[in-house]
Amino acid sequence: MKTMLITGGSGFIGSNFVHLILEKHSEYSVINLDALTYAGNNDNHHATINNPNYTFIHGDICDRELVQKLFVQYDFSSVVHFAAESHVDRSITGPEQFVLTNVLGTQILLQAAKNHWAGKTDKRFVHVSTDEVYGSLGPEGYFSEQTPLAPNSPYSASKAGSDLLVRSYFETFAFPAIITRCSNNYGSFQFPEKLIPLMITNALRDIPLPVYGDGMNVRDWLFVKDHCSAIATVLHKGTPGKVYNIGGNNEWHNIDIVKHILAELGKPESLITYVKDRLGHDRRYAIDASFIKSELGWSPSVTFEQGIRQTIQWYLDNRWWWEKLLDKQ
């Protein structure tokens, strides 16, 4: 059995990826390394905690000694790196932690893997990044893998920095790294500060739904389970040194998302409250995901209407999960 290190496996996307690997790839034993910051939640694994192929380790990717020890102990065949500070608003008020975790933490992982994998083949390091590293689009066009990096927030700048470190390890050391960049994710286990879960949970409690600016910012939305299937495809079929954009081919204005959620829940649009726009708020993101489709045969399987309905139902069925988080805020 091969052993996979998943960093940040108790976060939103990471936990969904852990579930996918345990359900569909029984050839792997999974080690989940997570610091359990505010967005990491071991309740995400209440259904898998007793799986013999799953091990949780509470630790920080910035802990060099721990990371090196884990590589020696488990002899990882692959690393899928999700661990990151990821909320733009928090990066504006406290950017230092984003640089420490996203840049330094990534470098510590890269160096440990490089040292331990020296002379070995069939290893893979998948670095999970974001389309936000490309900056903001105008009303036309799409981000491709060749789009120059132009991050506009401390969060996206820290992710761009980690992307460049990963690229440098491939170029300098022929390190077996692959980068994925995804559009906005939504689905189960998403911390209720992000747009879709915030709107769902506020609507369910009949409290105001805050919308930045005029609500006309555009995002390409990707169902988290589709994203995880794409990462698994890249892990098993991708080419080291390549970047793969992962998108949902699914652009929505923020305000239309909010109104759609309210309609699905039977709640009035009078709950919408417009608030002052966020600093450095990129106007539009949209991913060109044609490369991963042509090279690896992946494309999204869920429409937004299907995915948002599943997501709303999950938050309806799992109030115990998100109400505890709101009580801590």
Of the candidates 254, 179, 182, 251, the residue with the CA atom closest to the CA atom of residue 215: 254
List the catalytic residue out of 132, 163, 220, 251. Answer: 132
List the catalytic residue out of 134, 142, 155, 315. Answer: 155
List the catalytic residue out of 60, 85, 131, 282. Answer: 131
* Active-site annotation holds for 132: yes
Q: Which tokens in the block code for residue 223?
A: 């169902």
56 pairs with which residues across the strands?
32
Beta-carbon contacts of residue 94 (< 8 Å; ≥ 6 apart): none
273, 199 in Cβ contact below 8 A? no
* Active-site annotation holds for 323: no
* Active-site annotation holds for 193: no
131, 181 in Cβ contact below 8 A? yes
Active site residues: 131-132, 155
